[in-house]
């Protein structure tokens, strides 16, 4: 898919899926991630912007994509360390190698390496999140 096709696809108003998660076409780079964040409902949009800012600050040159209606961040295309997704009452952050983070995020997964950080309205711990992002960016990424 060309960059022009990706930009044209993200220009149309996205549909909100269950839990209010924006349906954004798959794409790489800033444009699809910005479209996802702009479509996040209510208070989640401000948190989405802040998550994006904190990730960019912690990992200069981070690569971005939208896959499976979620923003992904990595250090090289196809190798991702964190993603997030809108749920009904919170934002679910996925650390693909979260079991290796210190301290580990509390949310567990059926996949032993994955850990989740659920962010409810007004409850983003910026310092801890930034520390996890820095740690996660140094670990082997998930090839998706």
Euclidean distance between CA atoms 137 and 58, whole angstroms: 9
- Choosing among 3.90.1150.200, 3.90.1150.10, 3.40.30.120, 3.40.50.300, the CATH entry for 3-143 is 3.90.1150.200
Query: For the segment 80-92, what is each residue's pLDDT rounded down to a tens digit?
Result: 999 999 999 999 9
| Residue 121: partners with Cβ closer than 8 Å, 6 or more residues away | 43, 47, 90
Euclidean distance between CA atoms 133 and 81, whole angstroms: 8
Domain ranges of the chain: 3-143
Return the percentage of the chain with pLDDT > 90, whole number: 76
CB atoms within 10 A of CB 62: 17
* Predicted TM-score (pTM) of this structure: 0.87
pLDDT of residue 15: 77
Q: What is the mean pLDDT of residues 31-60?
A: 96
Q: What is the mean pLDDT of residues 15-25?
A: 80
- Are 60 and 49 contacting, i.e. CB atoms less than 8 angstroms apart? no
- Pairing state of beta strands 142-143 and 79-86? antiparallel
Query: For the segment 45-54, what is each residue's pLDDT rounded down to a tens digit?
Result: 999 999 999 9
């Amino acid at each position: 898919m060309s960059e022009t096709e990706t930009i044209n696809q993200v220009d149309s108003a996205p549909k909100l899926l269950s839990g209010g998660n924006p349906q954004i076409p798959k794409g790489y780079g800033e444009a699809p991630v910005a479209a996802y964040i702009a479509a996040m409902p209510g208070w989640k949009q401000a948190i989405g912007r802040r998550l994006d800012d904190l990730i960019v600050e912690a990992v200069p040159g981070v690569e971005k994509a939208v896959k499976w209606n979620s923003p992904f961040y990595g250090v090289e295309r196809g190798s991702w360390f964190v993603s997030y997704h809108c749920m009904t009452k919170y934002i679910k952050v996925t650390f693909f190698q979260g079991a290796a983070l210190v301290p580990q995020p509390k949310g567990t997964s059926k996949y032993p390496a994955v850990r989740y950080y659920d962010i409810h309205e007004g409850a983003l711990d910026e310092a801890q999140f930034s520390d996890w992002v820095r740690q996660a960016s140094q670990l082997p990424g998930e090839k998706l």
